[in-house]
């Protein structure tokens, strides 16, 4: 069900935002009246269509780590009073980087919103081989340091020992069980 009575309300709330559709997350840009450019994050397809027929579901969008062009950012919403229905440059902030408009049209954001990440093992190997930070979960990532560090929601919580074991800082012991489940 579409929730806007006139196109000016739709433009105010949807222009330059990422929202969920029946096909997955899409980036919207106002064209004219009810016509929008709908950019599909998964494959980069762009369609011009009447926004009332775009199949928008307005499901909540969960943020977290994004693997974006060889970099890693922890994305979170910034509390702001604004009339926007989805994610945009004004209500999303990054810990470990800055968010520009290109992020909102990226496969990395699609993977974050759809919870698609490499396995913990694959992320560790990629971090070692490619000398970069890699997320393996919405909340966890490996940081390329020596030794490889483990991060939770943008903060370092431990490291991987030379023997390949996780050594978590004492104040983050409550995360061990979740990490063990991810490692299995």
CA distances from 2 to 11, 46, 68, 138 (A): 13, 21, 32, 30
Domain boundaries, the chain: 1-116, 120-183
**36 in helix, strand or coil?**
strand
Residue 68 CA to residue 11 CA, distance in Å, equals: 28
Percentages helix, strand, coil for the chain, rounded to the nearest 5?
Answer: 25, 35, 40
Of 58-72, 89-103, 157-171, the one with minimum mean pLDDT is 89-103
Structure tokens at 26: 């899409």
| pLDDT beyond 60 at 71 | yes
pLDDT band at residue 97, thresholds of 50, 70 and 90?
low
Q: What is the pTM of this model?
A: 0.89
pLDDT in tens, 110-134: 999 999 999 999 999 999 899 999 9
In our burial notation (b when 16+ CB lie closer than 10 A, e otherwise), range 115-131 reads eebbebeebbebbeeee
CA distances from 131 to 25, 67, 94, 104, 162 (A): 30, 14, 21, 25, 16
Partners of 68 in beta bridges: 71
Q: What 8-state DSSP symbol labels residue 56?
A: B
Vertex 86 angle, CA 71 and 66, to 5°: 15
């Amino acid at each position: 069900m579409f929730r806007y009575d006139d196109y000016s309300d739709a433009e105010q709330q949807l222009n330059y935002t990422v929202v969920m559709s029946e096909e997955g997350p899409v980036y919207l840009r106002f064209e004219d009246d009810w016509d929008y450019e709908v950019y599909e994050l998964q494959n980069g397809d762009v369609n011009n269509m009447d926004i009332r027929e775009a199949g928008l579901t307005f499901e909540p969008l969960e943020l977290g780590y994004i693997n974006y062009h060889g970099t890693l950012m922890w994305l979170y919403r910034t509390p702001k009073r604004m009339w926007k229905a989805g994610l945009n440059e004004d209500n999303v902030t990054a810990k470990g980087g800055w968010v520009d408009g290109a992020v909102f049209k990226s496969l990395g954001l699609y993977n974050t919103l759809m919870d698609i990440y490499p396995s913990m093992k694959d992320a560790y190997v990629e971090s070692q081989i490619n000398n970069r930070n890699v997320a393996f979960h919405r909340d966890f990532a490996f940081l390329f340091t020596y030794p490889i560090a483990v991060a939770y929601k943008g903060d370092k919580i431990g490291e991987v020992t030379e023997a390949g074991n996780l050594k978590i800082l004492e104040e983050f012991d409550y995360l061990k069980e979740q990490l063990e489940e991810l490692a299995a």
